[in-house]
Structure 1
Amino acid sequence: MSQTQYMISDTENLDEMGMEQGPVVITRWVTFTVADEIYALNVLDVQEVLRAAEITPIPGAHETIRGIINLRGNVVTILDARTIFSLPEKPFDENSRIMVVELRSGEVAGIVVDSVAEVIALDEETVNAARRAGSDESAGHILGVVPQVDKGSDKLIILVDLKGLSDLAEK
């Protein structure tokens, strides 16, 4: 058992270590990449990850909408993460994935990303601190930014807000 797991689960020893007692709420996030940046969505919002699908374009659709797919008899709108984050287009390749998510409106949509990496755990306090720091109105689909919890990396993970993505899917 790692020291972090020990400190979280053994509340009797927290006091001896000079730490506040109380439950630590952990949330899990699915990380993905778009143009060498790392993003994350709450794992509870991600229904599945698809390797490839035939995307049918929709003439006249909003620029963030890449098209629609038939997912087991259901029509699913596909958004392009590169367009959402104002990045140059990139063709679908062997690492590209479609993350199927449930938006805040209850609708299901897919998001094309460059790759899907891993599931990480973040404590609620870290996520809440990111929310407070990420209040810029121009980035309505960004919840906040947290440091990467991996091997002393100086990279940041951008937490994506599905409410902002819901607004884009409805356009």
Structure 2
Amino acid sequence: MNDLMVMNKTEDEEKQFIVFRINKEYFGMDIFDINSIIMMPEITKMPKAPEYMQGVINLRGHVVPIMSLRKRMNYGEENITKDSRIIIVNLENDELMGVIVDDVKEVMNIPTSEIVESSPFVKKEDSFISGVGKKDDELISIFEVEKLIA
């Protein structure tokens, strides 16, 4: 008889998220959507851009648009501190976009079984949030990057 056995995967799959803070709330982005995280550089303003678009930066020879998540989510004016960071996200067609966050906390593994859909009171089309992850006693709202630019 063959001594090999097929083992069923009983462990829950985990996804990795970069966890960051905006307005004292924690949010996460799938690590596969992220290109890099940088300190706050000088941002060149763009005329007639939406209020939440802060301008553009030169990142390694590429012009990258920068969005204020705080303004995009109607949390008020940007409050740039020494902890503020720009998360550079990968978009379609190898394009990049930067989003300003209050600070970056950590890379966190969250089991997929601990991620639930966002509130049934919010239309999925109107929300940037694809779900809410639970890790220990923390709730982390999970961003859907593609919805930020819609």
TM-score normalised by L of structure 1: 0.75
Q: What residue in structure 2 maps to residue 30 of structure 1?
A: 18
Higher strand share: 2
In structure 2, list runs of 5 or more residues that go unmatched. Answer: 1-5
Q: Which residue type is aligned with residue 164 of structure 1?
A: K
Higher helix share: 1
1:10-159 superposed matches below 5 A: 22-104=10-92, 106-127=94-115, 129-130=116-117, 136-137=123-124, 139-147=126-134, 149-150=135-136, 153=137, 155-159=138-142
Shift of 1:160: 0.4
Shift of 1:163: 1.5
In structure 1, list runs of 5 or more residues that go unmatched. Answer: 1-10, 13-19
| Matched-pair contact (CA < 8 Å) for 2:71–2:78 | no
Aligned residues: 145
Shift of 1:23: 4.9
| Matched-pair contact (CA < 8 Å) for 2:52–2:67 | yes
Q: Which residue type is aligned with residue 163 of structure 1?
A: E
**Is the deviation greater in 20-29 or in 107-116?**
20-29
CA-atom RMSD in angstroms? 2.5
Where 1:88 maps in the other structure, the secondary structure is: coil
Where 2:67 maps in the other structure, the secondary structure is: strand
Distance 1:132 1:35, change over 3 A: closer
Shift of 1:133: 5.6
Shift of 1:123: 1.8
Identify which of structures 1 and 2 has the higher relative contact order when contacts are C-alpha pairs closer than 8 Å and 6+ apart: 2
User: C-alpha deviations, 1:93-112, integer Å up to 9, x for none?
Assistant: 10100000102454210000
User: C-alpha deviations, 1:21-64, integer Å up to 9, x for none?
Assistant: 54532110000000000000001111111112110010100122
Q: Which residue type is aligned with residue 145 of structure 1?
A: V
Task: Percent identity, please.
Answer: 27
Deviating beyond 3 angstroms after TM superposition, the runs of 4 or more aligned structure 1 residues are 20-23, 131-135
Q: Which residue type is aligned with residue 133 of structure 2?
A: V
Distance 1:114 1:106, change over 3 A: same
| Matched-pair contact (CA < 8 Å) for 1:133–1:144 | no
Shift of 1:126: 2.8
